[in-house]
Structure 1
Amino acid sequence: MRFDCFGSRCGVWGGDEPGARRRLEAWHRRFSRFEPGSELSRLNRDPRELVPISADMARLLTAIHVAATATGGLVDGTLLHAIEAAGYRTDLGAPVPLDVALALAPLRAPARPRPERTAFAVLRAENACFVRRPPELAFDSGGLAKGLFADLLAEEADGPFAVDCGGDLRFRGRRRTLEVTDPFGGPGLHVFEVHDGAVATSGIGKRSWLDAAGRPAHHLLDPATGRPAFTGVVQATALAPTAVEAEWRAKAALLSADPSWLVHGGLVVFDDGRSMMQEPDPDESKVHAELEELMPQTSAPDNGVAAPSGTPSAPSSS
């Protein structure tokens, strides 16, 4: 079953397909930054430092925290004001052709984290969840939300199941094939086979525009500058145990122009049209152990409010 959601095409195959579609559409209404009445928009407008949030919002903000921590701040889900300043305030029309955007783009340089990141914390007391952050800090759900919701659907499904949440894919139960498309319009670049796991592709070719100054822009920002990043990599595809991990690994590989982020395997496409496969790291157990250390702790801090123990979509050894 295919349908429009999250500003792109989504699909579910297996299990209760109509029910899965309804859940994705409900999540879209709750977590879209383009919906003024969404839970995310209300949180971003809230002037309080400590704000009550839903359990699903706590899962999303935990995913944002893990992605930022794992990448040293390179994948930053708190750049909403910067992405709006770059021109991405509403759903976009047709993208700028990739070859045109690259011809107009500045010199290539890898993205860097902000020197000082603004901290936030997801807290839990009994059955209530909260986020503590400076009131001016605003969250952008972006691809991490799509990965999270793909994971939640897949992990709750009975039997073989597949979900495509706007390009973040999660599979369970049987072998499936996925072709990586060429962002320049050429033939397919590679076919991955996935049984239980996830694939995510991040690229600069689909959500792009010309800003008020006529400069090419897209939705993947350099945290250090707040401007769209032109790094020499135009697309990165990551394999991972979960869709949310695949999402932040693909973004990190593109933003850093470093394929070594693709520790579970993947493929990058450079802006001269070349592509390169990245083989999986043979010591994945070490990778999983390192990710477990990034998860919020369950012990209560001094104020008696405990961080959540995790989210079904957070990186794990499953």
Structure 2
Amino acid sequence: MRLTVEDPAVLGAACGELKGLMDRVDKAASRFRVDSELSVVNRRAGALVPVSRLLVDLVDVSLVAARVSGGAVDPTVGPAVIAAGYDVDIEAVRRRFPPPLHEPQPPLEASGAPGEQMVGGTHPQSAELGGAHRQAVVGGVRGGSPGVGGVAGWREVRLNRKLALLGVPKGCALDLGATAKAWTADRAANLLSKRYGCAVLVEIGGDLRAAGAPKEPWVVTVAERSGGPGVLVTLTHGGLATSTRTVRRWRTADGYAHHVIDPRTGRPAEGAYRTASVWAPTAVRANTFSTALVATSDAALGRLKLASHPARLIGADGEVTELSGWPAASRAA
């Protein structure tokens, strides 16, 4: 995670608030802790479970994303992610089948974080927040398997917003990784910008949200992986998300797998686009489209064009396609 603020004096306090929000999201929706609310819901599949208003909001956002994406971003992929091998922290997953000594290691972290940012001739203050919060915003539990030919389906989720009750059918598990971190970035950026009266950037795992009115546009590096080739774009507001199947991946007995699931098959996506970067008014909406494009490729392209969100797509062969007003002069991957 990275937090960048235009006013250096507020950085410490703003970091504290962001950590507090991440703690609350962690307790509500982490699939890496057995005591999270979502883990309890998944263990009690088949029953309606009382949950917090925070988890209601997080699940509600995931269901909206599923509808907007035509089901490409489906929160019921939890069992499919686990079946692909991603059942614990990513580094532990990678240690199960280390690559041969002669094979290059896959990249370790996603990019999309702000690059060098100049505001009024000086560097704004920023801080990277890591540690226990790195895996704080994905949902699901061990066990279960995807349905035949796909996943259980987001329409099977039962959410009573008024009574704050949540349930999934037996054999199903929720994973909120595609939307919860983007929601957190949106929420944090808006709250911190209003509270401290300055422009703010919040980036969590490739999902970025800009809030407030910066004196000069932010300059943001968009890349598939940290330290890799990228392009510079300017940003004053809204969300920017990069989704890729080239980074969060691991070896299995059958070859490489990754965390972006195609809900139609219940398996890691193998479509035309390996990476998608999208701008939208919010990080949630940007993430919805970037994830959908990697998960289902051409099936999601029509929806993106209708929404007219600027996008940069990288094909499996490295060919770059820019759509709907994405800034020109991007380099080939």
Q: Is the 8 A contact 2:76 2:154 kept in 1?
A: no
TM-score with structure 2 setting the length: 0.70
**Unaligned ranges ≥5, structure 1:** 1-8, 102-111, 282-318
Q: Is the 8 A contact 1:98 1:205 kept in 2?
A: no
CA distance in structure 1 between the partners assigned to 2:273 and 2:321 by the alignment? 11
Q: Structure 1 residues 235-244 or 43-52, which shifts more?
A: 43-52
**Matching residue of 2:314:** 269
> What is the Cα deviation at residue 142 of structure 1?
0.6
Aligned length: 259
**Matching residue of 2:121:** none
**Change beyond 3 A, Cα 1:241–1:276:** same
> What is the Cα deviation at residue 121 of structure 1?
3.2
**Matching residue of 1:49:** 47
Task: Give matches, 1:202-217, under 5 Å.
Answer: 202-211=243-252, 213-217=253-257
Q: Is the 8 A contact 1:72 1:113 kept in 2?
A: no
Aligned partner of 1:13 among 2, 5, 20: 5
> What is the Cα deviation at residue 220 of structure 1?
0.6
Aligned residue for 1:36, secondary structure, equals coil
Aligned partner of 1:171 among 210, 234, 239: 210
Aligned partner of 2:273 among 212, 229, 233: 233
**Change beyond 3 A, Cα 1:48–1:114:** closer
CA distance in structure 2 between the partners assigned to 1:218 and 1:257 by the alignment? 15
Q: CA-to-partner distance for each residue in 1:154-208, whole Å, 9 max, x for gaps?
A: 22222211111121111012221211124597532x2222212010100012210
**Matching residue of 2:282:** 242
**Matching residue of 1:120:** 157
Aligned residue for 1:34, secondary structure, equals coil
**Matching residue of 2:76:** 78
Q: Is the 8 A contact 1:121 1:131 kept in 2?
A: yes
**Change beyond 3 A, Cα 1:241–1:98:** farther
**Change beyond 3 A, Cα 1:12–1:121:** farther
Task: Give matches, 1:93-104, under 5 Å.
Answer: 93=91
**Change beyond 3 A, Cα 1:199–1:27:** same
Instruction: List structure 1 runs of 4+ shifted beyond 4 angstroms.
Output: 94-101, 112-118, 182-186
CA distance in structure 2 between the partners assigned to 1:117 and 1:90 by the alignment? 23
Q: Tell me, yes or no, if structure 1 residue 221 matches structure 2 residue 261.
A: yes
Supply the RMSD in Å over aligned alpha carbons. 2.8
> What is the Cα deviation at residue 52 of structure 1?
1.2
Q: Tell me, yes or no, if structure 1 residue 252 matches structure 2 residue 252.
A: no
Aligned residue for 1:90, secondary structure, equals coil
Q: Tell me, yes or no, if structure 1 residue 25 matches structure 2 residue 20.
A: no
Q: Is the 8 A contact 2:41 2:166 kept in 1?
A: no
> What is the Cα deviation at residue 224 of structure 1?
1.8
Amino acid at match of 2:187: L
TM-score with structure 1 setting the length: 0.73
CA distance in structure 2 between the partners assigned to 1:183 and 1:21 by the alignment? 24
